[in-house]
Amino acid sequence: MNRRELLNNFGMGLGAIALCDLMNPSMVRAVEDDALLPSGHFPARAKRVIYLFQSGGPSQMDLLDYKPLLNEKHGEQLPDEVRGTQRLTGMSGNQSSLPLVGSPFKFAKHGEAGLWMSDQLPHTAKIADELCVINSMYTDAINHGPGVTHMQTGSQFPGRPSIGAWLNYGL
């Protein structure tokens, strides 16, 4: 794989930021020094944020998003009121049925906050109280691409500041 293919496969996002820092670290610091808001509205307590976006990773419903009703209705057909008038994707458009599919994994509450986690994350469950898990995000996008863009930027259309920019601003 050549350098261009590597950057294209990486999505140009974090790769471009890292490359900029490697090529000219003083430029990155100069941009930080000229920030519009030199300090936030509140004193910073966090020093770093580890943001995991696992595109192509395991489903959130198999790890952190417990859906007991979905498991209960496993195998039943998708009700019309759930889909409404939304069209089907190219992958499911030719299916003769649309069955609901629950997670095959067992879930339990962990930590003082009672964070639901599947049995697929036994080590992560030990540090449940040190995590921030957001399960309230949704999008009306039926395909993954616009949904991912919406989750990362707040808009289905590209060009808006991403969560990385907001994290940098927050820190």
Task: Say how far apart CA 24 and CA 19 lie, in whole Å.
Answer: 8
Alpha-carbon dihedral angle through residues 19, 22, 52, 126, given to the nearest 10 degrees: 160
pLDDT at 72 over 90: yes
- What are the tens digits of pLDDT across the range 134-164? 887 777 777 778 888 888 888 888 888 888 8
pLDDT at 123 over 80: yes
Note every long-range contact of 153-161, with CB atoms under 8 Å and residues 24 or more positions apart, other chains counting.
none
Task: Give the rounded distance of the alpha carbon of 146 from its chain centre.
Answer: 13
pTM (2 d.p.): 0.58
Task: Say how far apart CA 31 and CA 38 lie, in whole Å.
Answer: 11
- What are the tens digits of pLDDT across the range 27-46? 555 545 555 455 566 776 77
Question: Given 3-state DSSP classes, what are the helix, strand and coil percentages for the chain, each rounded to the nearest 5?
Answer: 40, 5, 55
The beta strand positions in 32-78, using DSSP E, are none
pLDDT at 66 over 90: yes
